[in-house]
Structure 1
Amino acid sequence: MTLTINGETVTVPDEVKTVSDLLSYFQLTNKLAIVEVNVRIIEKHEYGTTALADGDRIEIVHFVGGG
């Protein structure tokens, strides 16, 4: 499946079907992240049920600590 993630075209495996799968694929499962799919912010409790489709536009913002 081909997605546009943070402005870049990315091809992900067919096993990536939900927002939760996508975060796992990018190893962001345990990170604090905000996900937007096609201009709709997805609530965390919806990650496992929000299906992704070829051509979706996704924005992922995650926080990085530092000092």
Structure 2
Amino acid sequence: MQIFLNGEAKETSCLNLLHLVQELELEGKRFAVEQNEMIISKSKLEQTPICDQDRIEIIHAVGGG
């Protein structure tokens, strides 16, 4: 299915947001997920399905000094 990840079209076979986060190797890092303009808490990622044409924004924190 096709989704829009951070504004860019992407093909994915991920069934839920947790699988997508794992595919992007963000697990264990600091990030926030928004799906179709709704913020999804980390505790709900596995229960939140991904549908064709979803708009997903993932923002992750980058440390620096």
TM over 0.5: yes
Q: What count of residue pairs does the alignment treat as equivalent?
A: 65
SS of 1:29's equivalent in the other structure is coil
SS of 1:45's equivalent in the other structure is helix
Q: Which residue of 1 aligns with 2:6?
A: 6
5+ residue gaps, structure 1, are none
- Map of 1:21-60 to 2, 5 A cutoff? 21-60=19-58
Q: What is the CA-CA distance between 1:8 and the residue it aligns to?
A: 0.4
- The list of structure 1 runs, each at least 4 consecutive aligned residues, that deviate by more than 3 angstroms after superposition, is none
5+ residue gaps, structure 2, are none
Q: Which residue of 2 aligns with 1:63?
A: 61
Alignment RMSD (CA, Å): 0.8
The code of the aligned residue for 2:22 comes to: S
Q: What is the CA-CA distance between 1:66 and the residue it aligns to?
A: 1.9
SS of 2:26's equivalent in the other structure is coil
TM-score (norm: length of structure 1): 0.91
Find the aligned partners of 2:38 and 2:31 in 1 and give their Cα distance: 14
